[in-house]
């Protein structure tokens, strides 16, 4: 009964498994090198870390103030629902919430972690605090005998637009809308996301990765380093995306530990009626 859809899925899978959330852009990276004016080495990325020196809503204080709710951080820009807090660690970008088209994270650096490729491309980058946390996560994993690769981090609006347009050309508008992130709506543009794999490429950016020792380790420990598994199994209706056990999103330790312990989504956490708000 679903023959057309199944056929379509197979075609799509051939193009890229990770287009579901715009996770990976393997062949287009080299085309686009914008957004790399910021090329601080990773070991210069010690700037802020988790010290409480920034006057933002992310402050960890005894009263535990919550970051602003989803409703409070959305405005219409030329007909597009757009987030007002792109630089906050609590920013939520999804199919209903775009980043400003011209948003480039202010402090992109390259984390000092292994990548499964040699090219100096934008997808190596993350925001400084997230990059430092990723280095710590990789070190922690290694101590537990888990070897990881960083596969894809920052993705500019321009890259996502090219990817999306290529997809429309090759697969049609309908499929593009269903399987690729619209430019501005990929979380990778925040500089706070990294797709991670084990050194074995067979489950790279595929759902079975969640069952591997590497995937299990990430799920159990990422919160300790300030990361969440952003797209959980069974939460597709909330996040708008399929389960992606490889897609890590940095939110800071306090939020990450609470989100991972409760098994909720970032949307749930920040929703006015979410469990986090009821406390
Ligand atoms: Zn991803």
What average pLDDT does the structure give for the chain? 81
Return the minimum-mean-pLDDT range out of 33-47, 86-100, 149-163.
Answer: 33-47
Return the minimum-mean-pLDDT range out of 62-66, 70-74, 102-106, 195-199.
Answer: 62-66
* Separation of CA 259 and ligand 1 centre (Å): 18
Q: Alpha helices of the chain — where are they, by DSSP H?
A: 3-15, 128-143, 157-171, 173-179, 213-221, 236-239, 253-262, 266-270
Percent of the chain having pLDDT more than 70?
Answer: 74
Confidence of residue 20 (pLDDT cuts 50, 70, 90): low
More confident residue, 277 or 205: 205
User: For 31-45, what is the mean pLDDT?
Assistant: 36
pLDDT of residue 24: 58
User: For 257-277, what is the mean pLDDT?
Assistant: 82
Domain 7-36+107-278, second-level architecture: 2-Layer Sandwich (3.30)
* Separation of CA 64 and ligand 1 centre (Å): 29
pLDDT at 123 over 80: yes
- Is the CB of residue 252 less than 8 Å from the CB of residue 226? yes
pLDDT of residue 79: 93
* Separation of CA 188 and ligand 1 centre (Å): 6
More confident residue, 248 or 8: 248
* Separation of CA 206 and ligand 1 centre (Å): 11
* Separation of CA 102 and ligand 1 centre (Å): 20
SS3 content of the chain, % helix, strand, coil (to 5): 40, 15, 45
Question: Is 244 marked active-site?
Answer: yes
Selected catalytic residue, list 122, 244, 258, 267: 244
* Separation of CA 194 and ligand 1 centre (Å): 6
Long-range residue pairs from 254-257, CB within 8 A, at least 24 positions apart, any chain = 254/60, 254/64, 255/67, 255/89, 255/90, 255/226, 255/228, 256/222, 256/223, 256/224, 256/225, 256/226, 256/227, 256/228, 257/223, 257/224
pLDDT of residue 178: 67
Each residue of 40-80: pLDDT tens digit?
334 443 433 444 444 444 444 555 677 899 999 999 999 99
Each residue of 160-193: pLDDT tens digit?
999 899 989 999 988 877 667 889 999 999 999 9
pLDDT of residue 66: 79
Taking the domains of the chain in order of start, what are their residue ranges?
A: 7-36+107-278
């Amino acid at each position: 009964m679903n023959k057309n859809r199944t056929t379509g899925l197979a075609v799509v899978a051939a193009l890229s498994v990770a287009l579901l959330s715009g996770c990976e852009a393997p062949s287009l990276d080299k085309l686009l090198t914008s957004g790399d004016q910021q090329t601080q080495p990773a070991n210069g990325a010690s700037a802020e870390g988790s010290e409480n020196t920034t006057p933002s809503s992310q402050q960890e204080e005894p009263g535990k103030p919550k970051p602003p709710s989803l409703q409070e951080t959305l405005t219409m820009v030329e007909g597009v629902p757009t987030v007002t807090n792109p630089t906050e660690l609590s920013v939520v970008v999804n199919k209903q919430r775009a980043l400003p088209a011209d948003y480039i994270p202010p402090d992109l650096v390259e984390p000092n972690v292994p990548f499964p490729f040699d090219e100096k491309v934008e997808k190596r980058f993350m925001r400084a605090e997230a990059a430092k946390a990723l280095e710590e996560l990789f070190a922690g994993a290694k101590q537990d005998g888990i070897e990881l690769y960083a596969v894809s981090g920052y993705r500019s609006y321009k890259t996502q637009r090219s990817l999306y347009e290529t997809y429309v050309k090759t697969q049609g508008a309908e499929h593009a809308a269903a399987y690729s992130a619209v430019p501005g709506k990929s979380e990778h543009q925040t500089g706070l996301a990294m797709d991670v794999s084990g050194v074995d490429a067979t489950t790279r950016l595929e759902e079975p990765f969640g069952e591997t020792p590497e995937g299990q380790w990430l799920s159990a420990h990422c919160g300790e380093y300030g990361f969440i598994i952003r797209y959980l199994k069974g939460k597709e209706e909330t996040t708008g995306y399929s389960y992606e056990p490889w897609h890590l999103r940095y939110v800071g330790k306090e939020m990450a530990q609470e989100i991972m312990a409760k098994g909720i989504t970032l949307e749930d956490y920040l929703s006015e009626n979410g469990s986090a708000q009821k406390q």
